[in-house]
Amino acid sequence: CIILGIETSCDDTGCAIVDSEGNILGEALHSQHLVHLNNGGIIPPIAQDLHRANIERVVNEAVQSSGIPFKEIDAIAATVKPGLPLSLMIGTKYSKYLCRKHDKPFMPIHHMEAHALTARMCDKSVEFPFLVLLISGGHCLVAVAERVDKFLLLGESLDDAPGEAFDKVARRMKLKNLPEYSKLSGGQAVELAARKADNPLAYKFTIPLQQYKNCNFSFSGIKNQLLLHLQREEILHDVPADRVIPGVYNLCAGFQIVVTRHICHRVQRAMEYAARKNLVPPDKQTLVVSGGAACNNFIKGGLKMVCDEYGYKIVRPPPKFCTDNGVMIAWNGVERFKENIGIYHDWEHIDVENSAPLGEDLTNDVE
């Protein structure tokens, strides 16, 4: 099969055409990242305007680069949930327009499922069931992917997502005012700044939720610990409003270490629970890691150590497939199309949803 996929759940307008073997026949992506960076965060109506302004060009670019005529495309897939409704609406409406125009079926896609399944396109050895950790700007969860359309949610964040925490602390530390980080996301800036630390343990942090035996996450406490250190240093060194503190690299490193240790703890719990309940086969244990914050090599390094200890293989798609893109939506369409699920010939009733659970919620069962 050949599927065209469209992604507009947040701040990336993406489109791709993918075949049943996972060959990317054509793709295009427009990122609104710099606009939102200058606004200090995503303003939904602005994101919507930018999706509206770019969707047609992005789709045309993907289709033209593929050289595939519409008559060879089997279905059109689009993210319908979860995400910013104003953003989701643009991709969903445009997909329905294409379905009508070219007489194609519509395939509504769950954004987080798409993040999880992309690993199967990048690494053909990833088979169901596998454990998956999704860490991004809007989400944080650990789940078992049992089938294309069956997930068991083991844990999620009780407050901020990790990417969100990285973005907030980077802004508060004013990393953007250092020219080398001015165009980077908060997460990228903190990761690079942390590499310059001469004493990564200079600032004390405590790991959240250590006494809880479930798999849930929490990042707002870590963020607040950083803000307290920062405030104290700013006063101590009388730092002007547009300047970073002298210990900024060490502070970034300390933050990144505690975030990583926390994520690793929760994943360890998930591995232990999955083993107790026989949710993953002991001989073929795989941890898939994806989402924007999965681009962080320090976090990946920590997870690799946990995987080695627990006999898991770690699979992280290349960074461009960890962040939002059209390919992951088209690939999810391919996986569903092969199983003959979620293909709609009558799709007027399908609406966007800002929040949508990923599969069966076991977060209260895990201990």
Residues that bind ligand ATP (CB under 6 A): 9-10, 83, 136-139, 163-164, 166-167, 185-188, 191, 291-293, 295-296, 323-324
**Side-by-side strand order, sheet with 106-110:** 24-31, 12-19, 2-7, 75-81, 106-110
Beta carbon of residue 67, minimum distance to ligand ATP (angstroms, whole number): 28
Q: Report residue 328 as tokens.
A: 């992951």
Q: From the CB of 86, what's the least distance to Fe ion, in Å?
A: 16
Radius of gyration for the chain, computed over Cα atoms and rounded to the nearest angstrom: 21
Return the residues of window 29-58 that contact Fe ion according to CB under 5 A.
Answer: none
Minimum distance from residue 298 beta carbon to ligand ATP (Å): 8
Closer of 75 and 194 to ligand ATP (Cβ): 194
**Chain CA centroid to CA 207, Å:** 22
Q: Binding marks (x or -) toward Fe ion, 116..145, rule CB under 5 A?
A: --------------------x---------
CA 138 to chain centre: 7
Per DSSP, the three-state class of 32 is: coil
CB 106 within 8 A of CB 350: yes
Name which of 174 and 277 has its Cβ closer to ligand ATP. 174
- Under the criterion CB under 5 A, does residue 164 sit at the interface with Fe ion? no
Contact 301, 45 (CB under 8 A): no
Neighbouring CB atoms inside 10 A of 363's CB total 17
312 binds, among ligand ATP, Fe ion, none (CB under 5 to 8 A by kind): none
Residue closest to 73 by CA, chosen among 334, 274, 356, 311: 334
185 binds, options Fe ion, ligand ATP, none, Cβ within 5 to 8 A by partner type: ligand ATP
Residue 324 touching Fe ion (CB under 5 A): yes
CA distance 59 to 39: 27
Judged by beta carbon, residue 13 or residue 225, the one nearer Fe ion is 13
Closer residue to Fe ion in complex, CB, 143/248: 143
Nearest distance, CB of residue 303 and ligand ATP, angstroms: 13
Which CB atom, from 19 or from 324, has the smaller least distance to ligand ATP? 324
∠ CA 140-58-294, nearest 5°, is: 20
Whether the link from the prior residue into 318 is cis, omega within 30° of 0, is no
Question: Using CB under 5 A, which of the segments 87-95, 122-130, 318-326, 342-350 binds Fe ion?
Answer: 318-326
Q: What is the C-alpha to C-alpha distance for residues 347 and 337, in angstroms, rounded to an integer? A: 16
Minimal distance in Å, beta carbon 68 to ligand ATP?
27
User: Which of 161, 248 has the CB closer to Fe ion?
Assistant: 161
DSSP line for 186-203: HHHHHHHHHTT-S-TTSS
Q: How far apart are the first and last CA of the chain?
A: 42
User: Which one of the spans 157-165, 244-252, 307-315, 319-327 is the region binding Fe ion (CB under 5 A)?
Assistant: 319-327
113 part of the interface to Fe ion, by CB under 5 A: no
Contact residues for Fe ion (CB under 5 A)? 136, 324
